[in-house]
Structure formats: structure tokens, C-alpha cells
Amino acid sequence: PLPSTDSNMVIIAALVVFGAVIIIGAVVAFMMKRRNT
């Protein structure tokens, strides 16, 4: 495979994982805030 394709796939995978972590963290924080209130 081409180096450019590999780098693009790595960047896309990193962005997807990063976005998933942010979404999960936001949901968990929202649930904890609702539960505490």
C-alpha cells in the first residue's frame, strides 16, 4: 500500500477514536451531572 494511504488511514482512525472518546466522556459527564442533581 502507498505511504500516503497508510498515513490517511492512520489519521482517520485516530480522529474516529478521539471523537469516540470525547463523545463517551461527554455522555458519562452528562449522566453523572444528572444523577448528582
Reported as a single tens digit per residue, the pLDDT across 11-29 is 999 999 999 999 999 999 9
Is 1 or 13 the better-scoring residue by pLDDT?
Answer: 13
Regarding pTM above 0.85, the answer is no
pLDDT value at 3 more than 80: no
Report the 3 state secondary structure along 1-37: CCHHHHHHHHHHHHHHHHHHHHHHHHHHHHHHHHHHC
According to the model, what pLDDT value does residue 5 have? Answer: 77
Name the grid cell of 32. 453523572
Map grid coordinates 480522529 to a residue.
15
pLDDT value at 36 more than 80: no
Q: How far is CA 34 from CA 15, 23, 24, 31, in A?
A: 28, 16, 15, 5
